[in-house]
Chains A and B, each alone.
Chain A
Amino acid sequence: MTCGDTEIKELLPAFSEQSLGPAEMKRVNAHLALCAECRDEFALLRMLVDDVVPDPGGAYWSTLPDRVFKQVQEERSRKRFAGFAWRRLFPAVPRWAWASSAAVLVAVIAWLSFHPAPAVREPAEGTDQVALDDAMIDEQLDVAELTAPELTAMTQWAENAYTPINEAVDEELAERTEQDLSDELGNLSASELDRLLDSLKRKEQDARDKARKSNREKGIG
């Protein structure tokens, strides 16, 4: 037969611990006298309650707070030292900065693996200049990423390549300015002459700007 008195069943642990009030003790006692199932359950609970844990002794209990305190102090100083050492090496670097640095590093490695740096030939015998591989000249290069010897070599290459062209242009311009244009100029009206003069001034200014820019770039190189 199954006992459906859940209230009594819930009281059984407290009954076995003898922690119920007198009225409830009496009520449970009366129920147990009639209900075999609850008596079995009560006997089981008594076995559990009577299963006493061995006492490790007074010395164990009295020294435990000190042992715990000591271990807490050790743990704290260990954690503090670990944090301190890390902070000392990298003071006040926030987490986002570490994350950003890692992302940039990954991006640089990825870029380098697809865009190898230009190969640099060993200096020719008897000279201390570094030369660039011709094949690499055609590739797009990021000047900021070149080393000092590579940059020097690149500047030298640019000067060698563009000097003949500049000289040819200069010669042509010189020839043109030596031509006699008095007939053509004589046919122009005053306003046309003014516009021509303005146009020449602008061209002269543009040429000066270009020359200045070119000199500046060479100066940086």
Chain B
Amino acid sequence: MDEDLDLINRTEAGERDAFNELVLKYQRPLYSLLYRMVSNHEDASDILQKTFVKAFIGLGAFERRSSFKTWLYQIAINLAKNVYRDRSRAVHIPIDDVVIRKDPRTLDALIRKENRQMLNQSLSSLPEKQRLTLMLRVQEEKKFDEIAGIMGCTVGTAKANYHHAVQKLKALMGKPAEEPVQGAQG
């Protein structure tokens, strides 16, 4: 947080290195979130660039009360929402092309692929806030207080959105194939 403020002050003072450092620091996590929201590189890349441009143009309006990271995520999510809504309306997942081969490794890969497609389809059908909360919590590894800041809600609401998202996803996916618990231990 303090490091970000220092970089922001230096950026405002015209230090190009500080500007670069801020972009380099947040480009990957923001891209990851945006890609998951819009499901393609072109839109994710375009929105990512717009997010940074909007943030740097409006840096004077940034109130230092919240973190720069939260502010950036808010801008990115707001910009991506329209594209994401269009994409989620047009989601089409062909599952007829699943060809079962005799090779068990191929079969396993196809099942995984099918599961992934089902997962994406199910995610798309979740209400926007629940989907975003789930993505931020599980895929972007954000804590609930961070999610609350980004989504502009209370921690309790963020937790509730997360809980509802998991329950709905479970219902939509049926019972996902269990993975060995030991896998989590690395």
Give the size category of A's interface with B: 35 or more
Q: How far, in angstroms, from A19 to B183 measured CA to CA in the complex?
A: 13
Partner of A48, one of B41, B48, B139, B159: B139
**Residues B139 and A10 in contact, CB atoms below 8 Å apart:** no
* A163→B119 CA distance, assembly (Å): 102
Q: How far is the CA of A98 from the CA of B33 in the complex (A)?
A: 45
Residues of A within 8 A of B90 (CB): none
Chain B hits for A41, CB < 8 A:
166, 170
Taking CB atoms, residues of chain A closer than 8 Å to B181 are: 29, 32-33, 39, 42
- A44 interface residue per 8 A CB criterion: yes
Interface residues of A: mostly helix, strand, loop or mixed? Answer: helix
Chain A CB within 8 A of B5 CB? no
Q: A49 and B139 in contact (CB under 8 A), knowing A40-B178, A43-B178?
A: yes
Asked if B41 contacts A56 (CB within 8 A), the reply is: yes
Q: Mark A38-70, 1 if CB is under 8 A from B, else 0.
A: 011111111111010110100011001101110
Beta-carbon contact of B53 and A51 below 8 Å:
no
Q: Is chain B's interface secondary structure helix, strand, loop, or mixed overall?
A: helix
Q: Which residues of A contact B177 (CB under 8 A)?
A: 43
Question: Given the complex of chains A and B, what is the CA–CA distance between A46 and B112 in angstroms?
Answer: 12
Tell me which residues across on chain B come within 8 A of A56, comparing CB atoms: 31, 41, 45
CB of A75 closer than 8 Å to a CB of B: yes
- A49, B140: Cα distance in complex, Å: 9
The reply to whether the CB of B57 lies closer than 8 angstroms to some CB of chain A is yes
Contact of B19 among A13, A25, A33, A65 (CB under 8 A): A65
Q: In the complex, what residue of chain B is closest to A31 when comparing beta carbons?
A: B181
Q: Please tell me if A104 contacts chain B, counting CB pairs below 8 Å.
A: no
B49 touches A48 (CB 8 A): no
* B116-146 interface (Cβ within 8 A of A): 116, 119-120, 134-135, 137-139, 141, 144
A16-B163 in contact given A56-B31, A56-B41, A64-B27 (Cβ < 8 Å): no
Interface string of B143-186 (1 = CB under 8 A from A): 01000000000000001000100100110010111110111111
A71 close to B (CB within 8 Å): yes
**Contact assessment for B56 and A18 in the assembled complex, using a CB-CB cutoff below 8 Å:** no
Report yes or no: B184 in contact with A54, Cβ–Cβ below 8 A: no
Given contacts A16-B138, A40-B178, contact A54 B115 (CB under 8 A): no
**Of residues A18, A39, A46, A61, which shows the largest number of chain B Cβ atoms within 10 Å of its Cβ?**
A46
Residues of chain A lying within 8 A (CB to CB) of residue B78: none
13 contacts between A and B (CB under 8 A): A13-B137, A13-B141, A18-B185, A32-B181, A40-B178, A42-B184, A44-B173, A47-B176, A61-B28, A64-B49, A68-B23, A68-B49, A75-B53
Q: Report which B residues bind A (CB closer than 8 A).
A: 16, 19-20, 23-24, 27-28, 31-32, 35-36, 41, 45, 48-49, 52-53, 56-57, 115-116, 119-120, 134-135, 137-139, 141, 144, 159, 163, 166, 169-170, 173, 175-179, 181-186
- Where the two chains meet, the residues of A that have a C-beta atom closer than 8 Å to any C-beta of B are 9-10, 13-19, 25, 28-29, 32-33, 39-49, 51, 53-54, 56, 60-61, 64-65, 67-69, 71-72, 75-76, 79
Give me 10 other A-B pairs in contact (C-beta within 8 A), A41-B166, A68-B49 excluded: A10-B144, A15-B184, A16-B138, A29-B185, A43-B176, A44-B173, A48-B135, A51-B119, A53-B32, A64-B52
